[in-house]
Structure 1
């Protein structure tokens, strides 16, 4: 990623923040977050791994640290939780929220960690130019937890849909457990206070789910 591309991404995300484009307090978003959390817990529980409390975890594009906080709530110690993000504003806020986590403002194309350092690497927005670095720092027995759009964005041609084929190309020789999840945002944000009732009904319709949640490993999970 060139310096101009980094600057463009920083400016784009900063503008989204100023405009309040991403709202996390709506009832629909809260239902989406709960659905995703439950799905992540299911994937993690069936993964053959060391005890979660012993895992070292890296979140690539950690944002405000929400996902690292999720793992901390489930017993992962702060010294084993690491996050990197391109935006200084994200790191500043996440450090205030989670002062004991290891949080770094950095371009994820060049991760400052040794090879095979982490049991779990998280990416809630996949990018081809960071896949090799994610694999480099992942233990051979580790897992990549990812969450990304399953449909292209009609408003942004630069957004690419994440598919099983694309994941296989980004992470060759791996196995992916895949689950469609998250109601399309315009529908999720529409019902307001009725979201606890309407969200599960609409999210039960497969083609209305906007994202894939995946767990990618070198070997299949043990049943």
Structure 2
């Protein structure tokens, strides 16, 4: 795809995020909501189990996050023991990066703009993290460009940590599911391990608010009701 088409798609991503923020209050994503903290804690447990099996120690790992938003995932990595100077965040939207900067140590690098051209050295990262970024990239060429950059940044033996939708949301045309076959297309040389997580958010909100927060685990025990996957995408 041309640079112009690439730039147009990124502008549309920013527009879709702005529209989404207008449509939904921040309260919808508050950690005080029972469905939100249960989804978050489920993902955290699964990711920690994966990381516990990786070689080395957190203090030595280098990690870049694509689409770091307001910095929540980077804060998790700091709590895990990664050093600020070994962490990098990349964010397309300036208003979100402005929220992240005061929360994060000065030694942690933050870059604004297109991840596919971010100044991350090749073969320098132990991990590259993306969480619900690719489902917002509706253009296959942009997905491919960002995935190629992520793969280039990884050291041999490094891994992409991937968490995203696998199914379309018929009520939200601004996102699309990224099934496992597409993940394999984006990273054809990788060894891929995946697990299905997260009760579909519309259902999770209904269950926790109309039945009881404890019912989240009951419904989530049915794999077909889970809408996301967590993948470890390893570079040989």
Could you tell me the TM-score, scaled by structure 1's length? 0.90
Deviation at 1:73, TM superposition (A): 0.2
Q: In the alignment, is residue 55 of structure 1 matched against residue 61 of structure 2? A: yes
Q: Within 5 Å, which residues of 2 pair with 1:16-165?
A: 16-20=20-24, 23-25=28-30, 26-47=33-54, 49-100=55-106, 101-124=108-131, 125-126=133-134, 127-157=143-173, 159-165=175-181
Compare 13-22 and 27-36 and name the one that shifted more.
13-22
Structure 2 CA distance for aligned equivalents of residues 167 and 93 of structure 1:
30
Compare 197-206 and 97-106 and name the one that shifted more.
97-106
Task: Name the SS of the counterpart of 1:176 in structure 2.
Answer: strand
Gap regions ≥5 residues in structure 2: 135-142
Structure 1 CA distance for aligned equivalents of residues 88 and 103 of structure 2:
14
Q: In the alignment, is residue 214 of structure 1 matched against residue 220 of structure 2? A: no
Task: Name the SS of the counterpart of 2:156 in structure 1.
Answer: strand
Contact 2:190 2:235 in 1 (8 A): yes
Deviation at 1:99, TM superposition (A): 3.8
The residue that corresponds to 2:205 in the other structure is: 189
Structure 2 CA distance for aligned equivalents of residues 195 and 20 of structure 1:
23
Could you tell me the TM-score, scaled by structure 2's length? 0.86
Task: Provide the aligned length of Structure 1 versus Structure 2.
Answer: 218
Higher helix share: 2
Q: Name the structure, 1 or 2, with higher relative contact order (CA <8 Å, separation 6+).
A: 1
Contact 2:199 2:219 in 1 (8 A): yes
Structure 2 CA distance for aligned equivalents of residues 69 and 50 of structure 1:
20
Deviation at 1:98, TM superposition (A): 1.2
Superposition misfits of 4+ residues, deviation over 6 angstroms: none
- Structure 1's 134 and 187: CA in aligned 2 closer, same or farther, altered over 3 A? same
Q: 1:202 aligns with which of 214, 219, 227?
A: 219
User: What is the root-mean-square deviation of aligned Cα atoms in Å?
Assistant: 1.9
Structure 1 CA distance for aligned equivalents of residues 212 and 220 of structure 2:
11
Gap regions ≥5 residues in structure 1: none
